[in-house]
């Protein structure tokens, strides 16, 4: 079992739909990151969470430490949101190394 | 937010040559830099962690003599792929963290745009 599991692996949505990507992890963590990788390869850090909820524009990230689960929500999705979304965790006590989920390929159709 | 650059963005080389990839933190001093590689349709795989002024810590299975990492300053780390072979073709990504100044104490990592290496 991977330490970080994401679901779904692939997600296709129509423009305007509300999207949820889930991340579950099995280790104690000090922080969880949501990353976005576009087809060109560059990675953008969207959020870093250690508790609660964060919002930036149409993106919302939540984390439940007790349940070891985080979700990334996209409201009013747009084709430009199409990308791979990656959940990564920093284990408690680690020297900042991240463990990555396998990613969720999101395609938003116009 | 902080910016991390990588150079070159793309490199094609012949088998047997060495390739150097630079990772720079442009507006902050990074005490720790990470090097990852990513194969098509796969997630990032950590290769090594480097702290400024000390030897890099390599992950299991990563040859330290093949992937030379130098982190000589707080703003620059380099990865040299020595005697590259076609199986080294991959997307190499660095990230910087553990910043000083206004970023000190944060867990945030800032990712470079990546370098696509193709070995013929």
Beta strand pairing call for A69-74 and A19-25: antiparallel
Give percent above pLDDT 70 in chain A. 95
Distance CA A88, CA A67 (A): 16
- The mean pLDDT value of chain A amounts to 90
Q: Facing residues of B58 across strands?
A: B48
Q: How many CB pairs under 8 A join A and B?
A: 57
Distance CA A101, CA A27 (A): 13
Q: Which of A48, A54, A102, A58 is nearest to A81 (CA)?
A: A58
> What is the average per-residue pLDDT within A3-22?
96
Residue B101 has phi, psi (to 5 degrees) of 65, -130
Please write down the HEC assignment for all residues of chain B: CCCEEEECCEEEECCCCCEEEEEEECCCCEEEEEEEEECCCCCCEEEEEEECCCCCEECCCCCCCCEEEEEEECCEEEEEECCCCHHHCEEEEEEEEEECHHHCCCCCEEECCCEEEEEC
Chain A residues with CB inside 8 Å of B1's CB? 45
Residue A79 has phi, psi (to 5 degrees) of -50, -30
> What is the average per-residue pLDDT within A33-49?
85
> Which of B6, B107, B108, B116 has the highest number of chain A CBs within 10 A, making it the mutation to test binding with A?
B107
Q: Quick one: pLDDT at residue A23?
A: 97
CA distance B44 to chain A (A): 7
Q: What angle do CA A40, A10, A72 make, to 5 degrees?
A: 85
How does pLDDT run across B91-114, given as a tens digit for each residue? 999 998 765 444 444 556 788 999
- Average pLDDT by stretches of 10, chain B with 120 residues: 86 96 87 89 87 86 93 90 96 79 55 94
Beta strand pairing call for A69-74 and A59-64: antiparallel
SS3 call for A83: strand
Q: Quick one: pLDDT at residue A95?
A: 58
How does pLDDT run across B66-77, given as a tens digit for each residue? 999 998 888 899
Question: Do B111 and A35 make contact, defined as CB atoms within 8 angstroms?
Answer: yes
Q: Quick one: pLDDT at residue B97?
A: 76
Q: Are B64 and B70 in contact (CB under 8 A)?
A: no
In angstroms and rounded to an integer, the radius of gyration of the C-alpha atoms of chain A is 13
Tell me which DSSP letter residue A51 carries: S
Chain A contact for B107 (CB, 8 A cutoff)? yes
How does pLDDT run across A59-103, given as a tens digit for each residue? 999 999 999 999 999 999 999 999 999 999 988 765 567 889 999
> Which of B10, B21, B35, B44 has the highest number of chain A CBs within 10 A, making it the mutation to test binding with A?
B44
Region at A39 (left for phi over 0; alpha for psi -120 to 50; beta for the rest): alpha
């Amino acid at each position: 079992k991977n330490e970080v599991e994401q679901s779904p692996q692939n997600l296709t949505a129509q423009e305007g739909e509300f999207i949820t990507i889930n991340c579950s992890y099995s280790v104690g963590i000090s922080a969880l990151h949501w990353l976005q990788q576009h087809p060109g390869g560059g990675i953008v850090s969207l959020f870093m969470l250690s508790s609660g909820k964060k919002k930036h524009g149409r993106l919302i990230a939540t984390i439940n430490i007790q349940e070891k689960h985080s979700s990334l929500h996209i409201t009013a999705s747009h084709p430009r949101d199409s990308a791979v979304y990656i959940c990564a965790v920093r284990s408690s006590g680690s020297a900042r190394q991240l463990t990555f989920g396998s990613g969720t390929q999101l395609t938003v159709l116009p | 937010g902080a910016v991390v650059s990588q150079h070159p963005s793309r490199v094609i080389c012949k088998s047997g040559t060495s390739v150097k990839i630079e990772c720079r933190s442009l507006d902050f001093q990074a005490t720790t830099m990470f090097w990852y590689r990513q194969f098509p349709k796969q997630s990032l795989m950590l290769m090594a962690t480097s702290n400024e002024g000390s030897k890099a810590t390599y992950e299991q299975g990563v040859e330290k003599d093949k992937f030379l990492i130098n982190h000589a300053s707080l703003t620059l780390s380099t990865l040299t792929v020595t005697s590259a072979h076609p199986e080294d073709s991959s997307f190499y990504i660095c990230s910087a963290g553990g910043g000083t100044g206004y970023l000190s104490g944060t867990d945030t990592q800032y990712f470079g745009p990546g370098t696509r290496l193709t070995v013929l």
